[in-house]
Amino acid sequence: MEIVVGTPDVLPSGFVSDLARYRHRVFVEKLGWNLACQEGQELDQFDRPDTVYLAAHDDKGRIVGTARLLPTDRPYLLAEVFPELMGDARPPASARIWELSRFAAVDFQAVGSGPMQQFSSPVAIGLLRGVLEWAAAENIERLVSVSPLGVERLLRRAGFQAHRAAPPKVIDGQPIFACWIEVTRSPED
């Protein structure tokens, strides 16, 4: 597995379009999220020039995982769309805290794997390690993410330091929560 990381200006030509098509397949087609999309691509107002993307590629060059990272001192998903997930606390606003969003690890060539199984896959773990390595190199202290409730247990089981920012809420019929992920040395295999 190869992980590519960067902002749109340094990534290869066509990278963001390929990533947007992959995200559409995962979040709209597979998970059924009701997102405004154009031409089979999932991009939103948080896909900007300063957005940092990570993508995991298999040995044939196909995208099998993605992550989007945004500084919390600029507009980001949790603060703009889901601030109630922070409970009584204000959403973070710091250059040392970044949001992890649009995280997915779905290999469309694999057979019979559900979304939660995909998160616990070696690709998901490797991609999250890549996120944490990048964050540590950039002196980021912690990540925050809007996540389905089951992700918390999977993160802990994989050895990542993660915890709730506040109690979960049911939004669109799904229990979700704001999840803190500490940027530390990533767990070993």
The encoded tokens of residue 24 equal 């559409």
Of the candidate ranges 57-61, 113-117, 130-134, the one whose mean pLDDT is the lowest: 113-117
Quick one: pLDDT at residue 114? 52
Distance of alpha carbon 175 from alpha carbon 149, whole angstroms:
6
Confidence of residue 166 (pLDDT cuts 50, 70, 90): very high
Greater confidence, 89 or 106? 89
Whether the pLDDT of residue 120 is over 50: the answer is no
Quick one: pLDDT at residue 78? 95
Distance of alpha carbon 77 from alpha carbon 145, whole angstroms:
9
Give residue-wise pLDDT tens across range 40-61: 888 899 999 999 999 999 889 8
Are the CB atoms for 160 and 153 separated by under 8 Å? Answer: no
Terminal C-alpha separation, the chain: 15
Residues above pLDDT 70, as percent of the chain: 91
**Residue ranges of domains in the chain, CATH in brackets:** 2-182 (3.40.630.30)
Residue type, 119: F
Whether the pLDDT of residue 87 is over 80: the answer is yes
Q: For strands 52-57 and 169-171, give the pairing.
A: unpaired
- How far does Cα 118 stand from its chain's mean position? 13
Quick one: pLDDT at residue 183? 95
Residues 143-154, mean pLDDT to the nearest whole number: 86
Confidence of residue 118 (pLDDT cuts 50, 70, 90): very low
Mean pLDDT (the chain) is 87
Distance of alpha carbon 84 from alpha carbon 133, whole angstroms:
29
